[in-house]
Amino acid sequence: MPRVKDSAFIISRTDFGESDLIITLFSWRRGRISAICKGAKRSRRRFPGTLEPFSLVSFEGFSRSPLTLTRIDECRLIEPFTAIQENLRSYFCGSYFLEIIYRCCAEGQANPALFGMLRDLFSFLATTPQIRNFNCRIRLFELQIITLLGFRPELSGCLDCGQTFDRSRQLYFAPQTGGLVCSNCTPKHPSAFEVSRGTVNLLNQAHRLDNKMRNQLNFTPQVEAESARLCRALLRWHSGQVFKSLSIMERHADAGTTTTQRNADTAGFQPNRNLLSQPNQPQRESEHEFSGCCS
Ligand SMILES: [Zn+2]
């Protein structure tokens, strides 16, 4: 079996037997992969506390191909991003992005730009959760990650009838088309919803912004709310799945959750609980549950 050496973010971990762990990673060279860490729960020498969600690690092991279960022998911590787990706002947002990677990244396909974006995102979540424009920053990360996943909406004209949009036209976003439709075509798209020019402008510019520009950009609550709705509709359409981290995040936001409440809410969560499989859709052998931190 070929030897592999790579770096990766830990997405989730699941106990396997008495001493092993099954983990999902998003790696630099091979994208999303599943791996077994033999003896990880016992060996502090080969796995020195490195296998927590959000952590960036380097690892060595063996793998037949990116689509088969990798066997990891040794891990080294590069950046733990532990502060994300210590702040509720960062924790819930970070869990949402881990779930995006889990559900929307093809297994075994490298995406170095997305890997770099995740590092920027986790650095932001770990260091600046109290920043005033936190929600705007998160929306920009969300829009840029959607672009890097290949889901960027088409905005040049109606995707149904082909008409271009002049400034007087009302715009609607139809998730199943992957872009905008005009008011005449909305009856054919029952899930379409209205979006403002400000949101469309943001969508047109978001993928061009570097980290410095992201820090400086602010937009209105209406644009922030519309872009959030649009991103989530798009992700749900492409993945075909409901994002559990979102409903948990919204529930805790409504309740003004404290750390104690969060721990109580997540205490009943067991690693083997199946969060990802759909009814009547058995898991593949190399796939395990998203047990990370959003449950
Ligand atoms: Zn149309």
Distance 195 CA to ligand 1 centre (A): 15
Distance 143 CA to ligand 1 centre (A): 24
Please state, in angstroms and rounded to a whole number, the distance separating the CA atoms of residues 114 and 186: 33
pLDDT per residue as tens digits for the range 207-237: 888 877 877 788 899 999 999 999 999 999 9
Q: List Cβ neighbours of 273 (8 Å cut-off, separation of 6 or more).
A: 289, 291, 295
Neighbours of ion ligand 1 (CB under 5 A): 158, 160-161, 182, 185
Our CA angle for 142, 148, 150, nearest 5°, is 105
Please state, in angstroms and rounded to a whole number, the distance separating the CA atoms of residues 57 and 284: 25
Report the helix count and the strand count for the chain, using DSSP H and E. 8, 8
Please state, in angstroms and rounded to a whole number, the distance separating the CA atoms of residues 26 and 8: 5
Structure tokens at 161: 């009838």
Which pTM does this prediction carry?
A: 0.83
pLDDT per residue as tens digits for the range 142-196: 999 999 999 998 888 899 999 888 777 789 999 989 899 999 999 999 999 999 9
Radius of gyration of the chain (CA): 20
Report in angstroms the alpha-carbon separations of 54 from 81, 161, 250, 257, 291. Answer: 6, 44, 21, 21, 13
How many Cα atoms sit within 13 Å of 77 on the Cβ side?
15
Distance 238 CA to ligand 1 centre (A): 22
Distance 158 CA to ligand 1 centre (A): 5
For the chain, the structural domain boundaries read 3-151+207-287
According to the model, what pLDDT value does residue 288 have?
A: 39
Report in angstroms the alpha-carbon separations of 29 from 33, 49, 74, 218, 243. Answer: 10, 23, 17, 34, 26
- What's the distance, Cα to Cα, between the start and end of the chain in Å? 35
Q: Token match 């979102």: residue? A: 246
Distance 188 CA to ligand 1 centre (A): 10
Distance 237 CA to ligand 1 centre (A): 20
Q: Contact 14/23 with Cβ under 8 angstroms?
A: yes
Q: Token match 């492409």: residue? A: 238
Distance 157 CA to ligand 1 centre (A): 8
Closest among 258, 260, 257, 232 to 246, alpha carbons compared: 232
Distance 230 CA to ligand 1 centre (A): 18
Please state, in angstroms and rounded to a whole number, the distance separating the CA atoms of residues 119 and 126: 10
Our CA angle for 251, 255, 257, nearest 5°, is 95
Q: Token match 């936001």: residue? A: 253
Distance 165 CA to ligand 1 centre (A): 9
Closest among 59, 143, 145, 130 to 98, alpha carbons compared: 145
**3-class secondary structure per residue, 127-196:** HCCCCCCHHHHHHHHHHHHHHHCCCCCECCECCCCCCECCCCCCEEEEHHHCEEECHHHHHHCCCCEEEC
Closest among 67, 68, 77, 122 to 97, alpha carbons compared: 122
What is the pLDDT tens value at each position of the chain, 295 positions in all?
Answer: 788 999 999 999 998 988 899 999 999 999 999 999 988 888 878 887 778 999 999 999 998 877 789 999 999 999 999 999 898 889 999 999 999 999 999 999 999 999 999 999 999 999 876 777 888 899 999 999 999 999 998 888 899 999 888 777 789 999 989 899 999 999 999 999 999 999 999 998 888 888 778 777 888 999 999 999 999 999 999 999 888 888 888 777 666 555 545 544 443 322 233 333 333 333 333 333 444 443 3
According to the model, what pLDDT value does residue 242 have?
A: 87
Report in angstroms the alpha-carbon separations of 75 from 12, 49, 80, 110, 295. Answer: 15, 9, 12, 20, 25
Distance 172 CA to ligand 1 centre (A): 10
Q: Which amino acid is at 75?
A: C
